[in-house]
Chain A
Amino acid sequence: DAGITQSPRHKVTETGTPVTLRCHQTENHRYMYWYRQDPGHGLRLIHYSYGVKDTDKGEVSDGYSVSRSKTEDFLLTLESATSSQTSVYFCAISESPGTSRYNEQFFGPGTRLTVL
C-alpha cells in the first residue's frame, strides 16, 4: 500500500471554528490532491498541488485553502467551518500528471469531519 496517512481520522467541530486537515506521504510523489465525498456527488476535487508551494483550485474550492511547504505534507484548511463542509475528506497522491502514464492516484484512508 502507498504510504499515505491523514490526520485526524475523525473530527467534530463547531461552526465558525478553523480546521486543518493534514495529509502526509512517504512516496515522494509530486502531485497531491484533496477531495470531498458526499452522498450523491461522488468525489469532488477541492485543491491540488503539483509541487512544493505550487497549488491550484479544483471544482469546489470556495471556503478552503491549502498549503504545501514540503513534498510530503499537504494541508487543507477550513478558515471558518460551516455545516455544509461536513463531509469525508480524502487525500490522494500521484507520481505524474493526468496525461502521463504514471498517473494513477493513490488515496489516503479519509477523514470524517462533522461541523455542528
Chain B
Amino acid sequence: AQTVTQSQPEMSVQEAETVTLSCTYDTSESDYYLFWYKQPPSRQMILVIRQEAYKQQNATENRFSVNFQKAAKSFSLKISDSQLGDAAMYFCDRTGNTPLVFGKGTRLSVIA
C-alpha cells in the first residue's frame, strides 16, 4: 500500500523559533511528487511547498524548506522564524501514478 506517515499528531513552537515536522512515505514508484499543505482554522487547504522526487536539491519557499531524503523516503518540513499565522494543521502528501495520498496531519501551535 502507498502510505504517508506523520508521526507527530501535535507540535508547538515559540514565535520566531524554528520547528521541523516529520513525514515518511512508502511508494514503489520512481517518479512522484511530495507536497506539504497547510490548513488553517478557515479550513482552506493551501500549498506550502512541493518537491519533485527526481530533484536532489531540497525545495525552499521563503521561511519554509524541506529535507528530502529519497533513500530513506523521508520528507520533513522546516519552518524558520515561526509566526502566529503559521498555526495550522499541516499535511504531507505524495502523488504519482496514483492520486494524492495524504498523511493524517500534524497540528502546529505557535506560542507568542
A77 → chain B, closest Cβ, in Å?
A: 20
Report A3-41 CB contacts with B as 1/0, cut-off 8 Å. Answer: 000000000000000000000000000000101000011
Bound-complex Cα distance A106 to B100 (A): 12
- The contact size tier of chain B is 20 to 34
Bound-complex Cα distance A89 to B101 (A): 16
Contact indicator A103/B95 (Cβ below 8 Å): yes
User: Is A65 close to B, CB under 8 A?
Assistant: no
Contacting residues, chain A, for B50 (C-beta < 8 A): 104
Question: Which residue of chain A is the closest to B2 with respect to CB atoms?
Answer: A59
Contact indicator B104/A99 (Cβ below 8 Å): no
Interface size on A, residues (CB 8 A): 24
Contact indicator A33/B99 (Cβ below 8 Å): yes
Which A residues, 74 to 116, have Cβ-Cβ distances below 8 Å to chain B?
88, 90, 92, 97-99, 101, 103-107, 109-110
Contact indicator B99/A48 (Cβ below 8 Å): yes
Contacting residues, chain A, for B96 (C-beta < 8 A): 98-99
Please tell me which one of the listed residues A33, A42, A105 contacts residue B105 in the complex, with CB atoms under 8 A apart.
Answer: A42
The chain B residues found within 8 Å of chain A, CB to CB, are 31-33, 35, 43-45, 47, 50, 52, 91, 95-105
- Please list 18 pairs of residues, one from A and one from B, whose beta carbons are closer than 8 Å in the complex, sorted by A's number: A33-B100, A42-B91, A42-B102, A43-B100, A44-B102, A58-B99, A88-B43, A90-B45, A98-B99, A99-B31, A99-B95, A103-B33, A103-B95, A104-B47, A104-B50, A109-B43, A109-B44, A110-B44
The chain A residues found within 8 Å of chain B, CB to CB, are 33, 35, 40-45, 48, 58, 88, 90, 92, 97-99, 101, 103-107, 109-110
